[in-house]
Structure 1
């Protein structure tokens, strides 16, 4: 089951550093083998009847679900904060349409097209090239990027091929369900002498590039912008011949969601279109993203560094160890505690809110016996925040764990008085005061005069509290998904390095 996360309006500042939870999956069963047969059946999707969830249904729920991969060019975590070209592009759409955004990470052995058609997500935003085979199972939006497909070679090779005709003695390793495989097969059919080695679809492009860099494979194929980013933090890669020019990149959507595609196309047209001469024109926003992640003098990849001493994968934030220790002391979920810290302060110990809350957990000094100056200490602040949360969790101890967290988070954000008002209002509407869905609706009602004028604690910014709870809960789910994916890959491929953040 794919885990997901909700993000609204987050950025990690001017300096971006990747916390790479990249499993460079050593495919022990996929050695370099002869060319696969030409006649093969597509394995893109097993679900052929997509669920019905168009823009109206999405707008009704208020949540847009994006399926993406965990990589430096799509979506990643930097010190617990969300980043990535695809993430920022779709996040901006969600913001414009007043939708919450859930990010669903493609896990090991998960089929993105099945995740889409089963309703787990509403679009795939993972830098996918439009291909005829993919169009059989999904519809694509208008393009928002053009890329060239290039051969990427290992620096250990003693050859420097200048064109595709020089590649006859160099095996090229790609995934079967990739646009790169499709292009290589087309070149073979045109008469080019190529050896294609097929590996598991669990290995993403970044993992393959890493294995080319360390000499496990001789060559692979990647989009030029992907290579540009990866080459900044992977030693041992050499740019080879181009095999496809100006391939179109787009989002994939269910075939029965025409209104959603229309919305996406209208949005993307503002940021990428062709003039009368066929020259692509990009918006200032899109150019900023391209420079930020691929092209700038200090693109995001400049801050990546492989570190042979770092523990493999497993990291979320700069305070993982401390959060784990404190969570254990108070019998709390450390991943949830980490998600709260990301929401409250983006892990900034000097953070201050307009309401006077301070530190990583945004503790209000008036509700704490600890001196104000001490609350800027990360350990003291996290421990005090955990203590307050534990009290609130205990208050709802008669609920199941999920509900406990939802109500405790609402109380942490809005205060016990407003939550109590919302529960009473839920009862007035014959709703269950112990169900978060019912109480979240009541919190929204407390923004209306006809309701809050009769409430004991008056007006409540209910929409902020509902978003707060949903964002933290879903972010925690995605953190869990990333950790599970990392552990799974590490168990399967021991000894493979992850990447570490640098200051």
Structure 2
């Protein structure tokens, strides 16, 4: 009886010890799951951010990352004194699933704050208000100005977005209103469908409309939602994010107060018309007013790098209008508009020094020219190098792959030029290595430089009464660059 009692006490003590140990383990597990996210980020030295690959969020330009959400996230990473890792995906669904799978701490993807999303996510401070615009193509449809005009129209929007909620709200007043939803499309895909007449109406945020309107001059806003929607970064709904949101609130307060947020918004959603369209009158005026001051430097650098000075002059005009102090909305600077990273790579200490900038730009162009596949022959090789100067070699290679898939010749500029705009469409850029790019801008960029070069050449030949070409872009002399053949 005594021995049995002793055994019973021993077992009780062991069970108590096990219970305490189990409780400690569970407490530790809970603490690990609720580990302070801000401290985790600082300890790792990296801020991971999920984003969408697109014009208003994140993409590559001239081989460097760009986009409104990228620059905003970079500023926050600098505020935390950590590195930034952008994780681009191609759909809203992937953004939300990535957060759930702990692939990143933050989602910065132009997300609207909605009541349904707040049930499962935490949102930081709103940094931008946007209005959903109902847009149509005036070349394909009669004018629209109210929700009533939408009845009977083919409307398509992206599923799982605030735009669906907007339509559901309208349907309460207009029960016959109908629309289609797509999971595998992005805003740019809807704009392309609208341009082709495949749909009559779509909804995009005001920021996306302003960022793309130069490419779709026939688009018009039928009407907008009464209340603007607020955009914010999203995080998982866990107590571990409390300190992160607190620090994020401090960051946005400072970033707003010093005017940096306003400047970023302005430069991100304003199209640079100068790089989109050629203005012959302006060019001829600048040729008389500015070119004489920099012509000697251009000729000097052209000799150093074995280039036709008129060709280098055409590039530098396209980049900066021969303005050594020029600065683009995205921060590239100088006569040849070099990015900071490109300038460092080319050993350019001062991007505002016209001689350094011209040398750096010429060196960069020649480098891109040499890195192109040997199968691309002159003069096409020059146009490919110019396109790479504008959007990066990786995007040009993506366009070549798309060209081949479409049955074109990836070594011919005329074929690849037709494929470059497809880099804006999700169905084409999704399988590519480098993703979204403003390929249509690159195509215009090359066309403009060819036109400027032709005008400079014709100006010299005109002294000998050589008649001007009927189509400037189709005329190029054999001496475009040493070793080039005439078109």
TM-score category of the 2 structures, normalised to the smaller one:
0.5 to 0.7
Alpha-carbon distance between aligned partners in 1 of 2:245 and 2:196, rounded to the nearest angstrom: 41
2:227 match: secondary structure: strand
Task: Name the residue aligned to 2:428.
Answer: 490
Larger relative helix fraction: 2
Larger relative strand fraction: 1
Radius of gyration: which is bigger? 2
2:269 match: secondary structure: helix
Task: Name the residue aligned to 2:184.
Answer: 202
Task: Name the residue aligned to 1:250.
Answer: 232
Alpha-carbon distance between aligned partners in 2 of 1:210 and 1:266, rounded to the nearest angstrom: 40
Task: Name the residue aligned to 2:348.
Answer: 352
8 Å CA contact 2:189–2:426 kept in 1: the answer is no
> Cα gap change, 1:126/1:198 in structure 2, threshold over 3 Å: closer, same or farther?
same
Task: Name the residue aligned to 1:149.
Answer: 132
Choose 103-112 or 235-244, whichever is displaced more.
Answer: 103-112
> Cα gap change, 1:121/1:344 in structure 2, threshold over 3 Å: closer, same or farther?
same
Q: Write out per-residue CA displacement over residues 83-105 of structure 1, whole angstroms, 9 at most, x where no aligned residue.
A: 11111111111112101001110
Task: Name the residue aligned to 1:165.
Answer: 148
Shift of 1:195: 1.8
* Structure-to-structure mapping, 1:398-409, within 5 angstroms: none
Task: Name the residue aligned to 1:224.
Answer: 206
Alpha-carbon distance between aligned partners in 1 of 2:127 and 2:173, rounded to the nearest angstrom: 29
Runs of 5+ consecutive residues of structure 1 not aligned to the other structure: 1-49, 273-281, 306-341, 355-359, 361-372, 386-474
Matched, 1:291 2:266: yes
Task: Name the residue aligned to 2:324.
Answer: none
Q: Write out per-residue CA displacement over residues 470-489 of structure 1, whole angstroms, 9 at most, x where no aligned residue.
A: xxxxx999999999996993
Alpha-carbon distance between aligned partners in 2 of 1:192 and 1:90, rounded to the nearest angstrom: 42
Alpha-carbon distance between aligned partners in 2 of 1:383 and 1:244, rounded to the nearest angstrom: 51
Task: Name the residue aligned to 1:189.
Answer: 172
Shift of 1:184: 0.6
8 Å CA contact 2:121–2:236 kept in 1: the answer is yes
Shift of 1:160: 1.0
8 Å CA contact 1:174–1:220 kept in 2: the answer is yes
2:159 to 151, 160, 176: 176
Shift of 1:154: 1.8
8 Å CA contact 2:36–2:243 kept in 1: the answer is no
Shift of 1:141: 0.9
Alpha-carbon distance between aligned partners in 1 of 2:431 and 2:88, rounded to the nearest angstrom: 20
Task: Name the residue aligned to 1:391.
Answer: none
> Cα gap change, 1:267/1:375 in structure 2, threshold over 3 Å: closer, same or farther?
closer
8 Å CA contact 1:162–1:241 kept in 2: the answer is yes
> Cα gap change, 1:109/1:91 in structure 2, threshold over 3 Å: closer, same or farther?
closer
Q: Write out per-residue CA displacement over residues 139-165 of structure 1, whole angstroms, 9 at most, x where no aligned residue.
A: 111211111111011223332111112
* Structure-to-structure mapping, 1:313-352, within 5 angstroms: 345-346=341-342, 351-352=347-348
Q: Write out per-residue CA displacement over residues 365-401 of structure 1, whole angstroms, 9 at most, x where no aligned residue.
A: xxxxxxxx9997458868999xxxxxxxxxxxxxxxx
8 Å CA contact 1:109–1:202 kept in 2: the answer is no
Runs of 5+ consecutive residues of structure 2 not aligned to the other structure: 1-32, 278-337, 351-355, 372-391, 403-421, 433-437, 450-487
* TM-score normalised to structure 2 length: 0.53
Matched, 1:270 2:254: yes
Task: Name the residue aligned to 2:221.
Answer: 239
> Cα gap change, 1:116/1:293 in structure 2, threshold over 3 Å: closer, same or farther?
same
* TM-score normalised to structure 1 length: 0.51
Q: Which has the higher contact order (CA 8 A, sep 6+)?
A: 1
Q: Write out per-residue CA displacement over residues 213-236 of structure 1, whole angstroms, 9 at most, x where no aligned residue.
A: 232211100111211111022343
Alpha-carbon distance between aligned partners in 2 of 1:109 and 1:124, rounded to the nearest angstrom: 10
1:261 to 245, 256, 276: 245
Equivalenced residue count is: 299
Alpha-carbon distance between aligned partners in 2 of 1:345 and 1:267, rounded to the nearest angstrom: 25
Task: Name the residue aligned to 1:336.
Answer: none
